[in-house]
Amino acid sequence: MIPVLSDLTVGDVVAEASFTLTRDSLVRYAGASGDFNAIHYRDDVAQSVGLSGVLAHGMLTMGLAVQPVVDWAGDPARVIDYQVRFTRPVFVDATVGALVSVVATAGALDVESGVARIDLTVTFNGATVLGKAQARVDLA
Amino acid sequence: MSVNPELQGRVFPPVAPYLVGREKVREFSRAVFATHPINHDPEAARAAGHADVVAPPTFAVVVQEATLAQLLGEPDGGIDFTRVVHGNQRFSYTRPIIAGDELTATLAVTSIKTLGGHSMVTAESTIVDATGAHVVTAISTLVVRGDE
């Protein structure tokens, strides 16, 4: 079922989800995306550039954070614009991984075009890791 | 070495066309936890009116990557890859990316700003299909940390 724009109110939570990232997730994303920067799979390389350890690809965090919106919208093609600012790293512990939580809220509703702006709050370890994370969803 | 301000406004030659494979869309979908059937199942995609499986919203980064490699490899660019941090990313679609698409990306440097010793380089990759019609524009802002 496709959400109906006129049923929405700004501030409504439209979707919520949590994702557990492991080192396996990072290797999988490296292969799928072609981003083989070693800071995403080698602690020694990450530490050599001043990081505490391996961190998730920002593009992996961006990629998964929009999925609850895709599922809510009912079709990935409905996401017509998506932007984020990368504000904090997601460190992925070798044994316990990292839990990333997403809350998607109606941020703005354009009745004329039928486009909803969905704002994403993406957190790891109690702090947001993406800023101005907004997906525009065509519900027309 | 610092970022060459003359990069602003520079348009690079188009990169070689990228053929979007169905299995690549599925592989990328698994990697970003995209579980929607339209990302994986051609029948589900056709039932929704698409010719084949639809790529997740951030898939365009795979096509964009070759253009960013051009930028980082530009001989007079002055961008030291080891000092680059990804600042912002945006994808603006005219239509979704579908398996079977042949996509060509062209990069333009739209802005270079200096902020407290760091440079912010904004690069736009315009991605068109085999007919030349616009599919998506991928916009990255890269933060290049200054010399200590």
CA of B86: which chain A residue's CA is closest?
A: A86
Write down all domains in chain B, each with its CATH number in brackets.
Answer: 5-20+59-144 (3.10.129.10)
Smallest CA–CA distance, residue B86 to chain A, in Å, is: 7
H/E stretch holding B112 reads: strand B102-115
- Give me the pLDDT at residue B128, please: 98
Across the A:B interface, residue pairs with CB atoms under 8 Å apart total 107
pLDDT(B20) > 80: yes
Contact (Cβ atoms closer than 8 angstroms) between residue B35 and residue A67:
yes
Q: Taking Cα atoms as reference points, which of A70, A52, A53 lies closest to residue B96? A: A70
- Give me the pLDDT at residue A84, please: 98
- Write down the domain spans for chain A: 5-21+57-138
Distance separating alpha carbons of residues A135 and A24, to the nearest angstrom: 27
- CB-CB neighbors (< 8 A) of A24 in chain B: none
- Give me the pLDDT at residue B80, please: 85
Q: Which of B54, B56, B86 sits opposite A63 (nearest CB)?
A: B56
pLDDT(A6) > 60: yes
Q: The complex's ipTM?
A: 0.97
On whether any CB of chain B is under 8 Å from the CB of A83, the answer is yes
On whether any CB of chain B is under 8 Å from the CB of A19, the answer is yes
- B83 pLDDT band (50/70/90 cuts)? confident
On whether any CB of chain A is under 8 Å from the CB of B39, the answer is yes
Strand partners, B134: B128
- Give me the pLDDT at residue A34, please: 94
> In this predicted model, what pLDDT tens digit does every residue of A98-125 receive, in sequence order?
999 999 999 999 999 999 999 999 999 9
Higher-pLDDT residue of B82 and B119 is B119
Q: Which of A31, A32, A59 sits opposite B89 (nearest CB)?
A: A59
- CB-CB neighbors (< 8 A) of B67 in chain A: none
pLDDT(B1) > 70: no
> In this predicted model, what pLDDT tens digit does every residue of A25-82 receive, in sequence order?
999 999 999 999 999 999 999 999 889 999 999 999 999 999 999 999 999 999 999 9
- A10 pLDDT band (50/70/90 cuts)? very high
Q: Which of A34, A86, A132 sits opposite B62 (nearest CB)?
A: A34
Q: Which of A29, A58, A76 sits opposite B57 (nearest CB)?
A: A76
Which residue's entry shows tokens 């066309």?
B17
> In this predicted model, what pLDDT tens digit does every residue of B30-70 receive, in sequence order?
999 999 999 999 999 999 999 999 999 999 999 999 999 99
Higher-pLDDT residue of B147 and A126 is A126
Q: Taking Cα atoms as reference points, which of B141, B34, B65 lies closest to residue A66? A: B34
Please report the residues numbered 38 through 67 in chain A whose beta carbons come closer than 8 angstroms to any beta carbon of chain B: 49, 58-60, 62-64, 66-67
Q: Inspect the interface and report whether the beta carbons of A70 and B91 lie closer than 8 Å.
A: no
Fold for the domain defined by A5-21+57-138: Thiol Ester Dehydrase; Chain A (3.10.129)
Average pLDDT of chain A to the nearest whole number: 96
Contact (Cβ atoms closer than 8 angstroms) between residue B58 and residue A120:
no
- B117 pLDDT band (50/70/90 cuts)? confident
If one counts every other C-beta atom within 10 angstroms of the C-beta of residue B148, the result is: 5
Contact (Cβ atoms closer than 8 angstroms) between residue A58 and residue A86:
yes
- Give me the pLDDT at residue B147, please: 67
**pLDDT > 90 fraction of chain B, expressed in percent and rounded:** 87
For A45, A124, B44, B110, the CA distances from B97, given in Å and listed in that order, are 34, 30, 16, 24
CA of B69: which chain A residue's CA is closest?
A: A35
